[in-house]
Amino acid sequence: MLGKQWNERLMSTTTPLAERMRPTSLDNYIGQKHIVGEGAILRNAIQSNLLPSIILWGPPGVGKTTLANIIAHQLKRPFHALSAINSGVKDIREVIEKSKSNGLFSQSNPILFIDEIHRFSKSQQDSLLGAVEKGTITLIGATTENPSFEVISALLSRCQVYILKHLEKEDLLEMLELAMKTDAVLKTKKIHILENEALLRLSGGDGRKLLNVFELVINSIGGETVEITNEKVNNIVQQNIAIYDKAGENHYDIISAFIKSIRGSDPNAAVYWLARMIEGGEDPLFIARRLLILASEDIGNANPTALVIANNCFQAVNVIGYPESRIILSQTVTYLATSAKSNAAYAAIGIASEIVRKTGNLPVPLHLRNAPTKLMKDIGYGENYEYSHGYANNFSAQEYLPTELSGTKIYDPGNNVRENELKEYLKKLWGNKYGY
């Protein structure tokens, strides 16, 4: 008995708090109520034992791995876990063959959990297709990247994608309370959280990071009575900042600083954050993809060449890889950072989408409709359409919006050399119709 107690005590002091607090049932799972709360779609699939292969997409520390373990435990199915970082096709095939053999004696197909599935190559993902399609295994993939980009379409079409969100303030506070009440180590101390803002801010909605910081602060303060303030948390974390770089948990903080530096036209800061990502082993395609998005979102028509440069960068990085691709990334980053900026195109699609949500499916004006059949022509489809190239300057001032939206300005060019020219051009064409 003493040996068992000693082992439990040793585990509680050597195992990280985040691991000690990992829940084992849906009832103890914090957050993600939109998919696993009472009556939610994934919870219903689990309870009815009708679980399809799924992809769990969300930022770090929101419970993807925990949810996979809970699912396997609740369904009482064999559970195999692979990490895309250190597993290959051989490992996948071994799990599949083992599942086939066990399937002769069991009616429950095993669950194969693949962490960071976005890091699997196309050939590695291809090796999963047959087993997933035949139901030999139920795949649960976890990814921090958009599966539309990172998971091959054939595999993605056979999986249901569930999006996990950053944990809310209430979820994070609940996590801290539960840790203080139930953890074997923490419940022996008198912990008073006098201020929680620094803990929450440093977590960034990441539950694992929150518990890691919380444990670090408690251990650093020491003693049986621990009082936590914002100042103490900030001081302790600053002294131990390397722990987060080493764990890679500030991935999203760095990419945020990187994007904001380019948006803010500071090539010096942008290249610094680029170097941080490169030295940390970040996937160059992840960086190049973010540059593609930025070229339209933050530069747009102020410099249309930016998108061409960013796309060429993505293609080049895809072909070359590290270490040479760092030069291509640096060239692109400095070009984008020093370019004129405009978010007008980004704003325009946001405004248009909001209009669509509010007004619904407004009818297409008859003169703009397609008329592939005689009947459609007879009832007026396409009638009175003015072919722009048949008019002076290849322009006809006919109505292109639904009648209810006539004169609504959606695209408002930014205040820069290129878009000021566009604004004058549109004003010349449309006069005062759109208020340019």
Options 2.40.160, 3.30.70, 1.10.3470, 1.10.3710; CATH of 360-430? 1.10.3710
383 contacts 366 by C-beta, under 8 angstroms: yes
pLDDT value of residue 239: 67
Identify the bridge partners of residue 320 per DSSP, sorted by sequence position: none
Q: Terminal CA-to-CA distance of the chain, rounded, Å?
A: 82
Sheet with 160-163, edge to edge strand ranges:
79-83, 111-115, 138-143, 54-57, 160-163
CATH 3.40.605.10 holds for 32-163: no
pLDDT value of residue 88: 81
Q: Are strands 54-57 and 160-163 parallel, antiparallel or unpaired?
A: parallel
Domain boundaries, the chain: 32-163, 169-247, 251-337, 360-430
pLDDT value of residue 123: 85
* Dihedrals phi, psi of 265, to nearest 5 degrees: 60, 40
Look at residues 63, 70, 18 and name the one whose alpha carbon lies nearest to residue 178: 18
161 contacts 55 by C-beta, under 8 angstroms: yes
CA distance 173 to 167: 10
Look at residues 184, 238, 237, 246 and name the one whose alpha carbon lies nearest to residue 214: 237
pLDDT value of residue 372: 67
CATH architecture of the domain with residue range 251-337: Up-down Bundle (1.20)
How would you write the pLDDT of the chain (436 residues) with one tens digit per residue? 444 444 444 445 568 898 899 998 998 899 999 999 999 999 999 999 889 999 999 988 889 999 999 999 899 888 999 888 778 888 888 888 888 776 544 557 889 999 989 888 888 898 899 899 988 899 999 998 888 888 888 999 999 999 998 889 999 999 999 999 999 899 999 999 999 999 998 887 888 889 989 999 999 998 899 999 999 998 888 766 544 343 444 667 788 899 999 999 999 999 999 998 887 778 888 899 999 999 999 999 999 999 999 999 999 998 888 889 999 999 999 999 999 999 999 999 999 999 999 998 898 888 888 866 676 666 667 788 888 898 898 999 999 999 999 999 999 999 999 999 999 999 999 999 998 8
pLDDT value of residue 103: 57
pLDDT value of residue 106: 54
Radius of gyration of the chain (CA): 28
Quick one: DSSP state of residue 138? E
Q: Which amino acid, one-letter code, is at 325?
A: S
Residue 59 CB partners (closer than 8 Å, separation 6+): 144, 164, 166, 205, 206, 252
Q: Are strands 190-193 and 225-228 parallel, antiparallel or unpaired?
A: parallel
Tens of pLDDT along 338-363?
Answer: 999 999 999 999 999 999 999 988 98
pLDDT value of residue 236: 87
340 contacts 416 by C-beta, under 8 angstroms: yes
Count how many Cα atoms sit within 13 Å of the Cα of residue 142 in the half-sphere of its side chain: 23
404 contacts 416 by C-beta, under 8 angstroms: no
8 contacts 205 by C-beta, under 8 angstroms: no
pLDDT value of residue 288: 94
Residues in the chain: 436
Buried b (16+ CB within 10 A) or exposed e, 154-191: ebbeebeebebebbeeebbbebbeebbeebebbeebeb
Tens of pLDDT along 97-110?
Answer: 888 776 544 557 88
Residue-by-residue DSSP string for 249-306:
TTHHHHHHHHHHHHHTT-HHHHHHHHHHHHHTT--HHHHHHHHHHHIIIIIGGG-THH
Alpha helices in 88-240 (DSSP H): 89-103, 122-134, 147-150, 153-156, 169-182, 197-203, 207-221, 230-239
The helix (run of H) or strand (run of E) holding residue 28 is: none
Structure tokens at 172: 């994070």
111 contacts 79 by C-beta, under 8 angstroms: yes
Options 3.60.21.10, 3.90.180.10, 1.10.8.60, 1.10.10.10; CATH of 169-247? 1.10.8.60
Look at residues 131, 322, 50 and name the one whose alpha carbon lies nearest to residue 114: 131
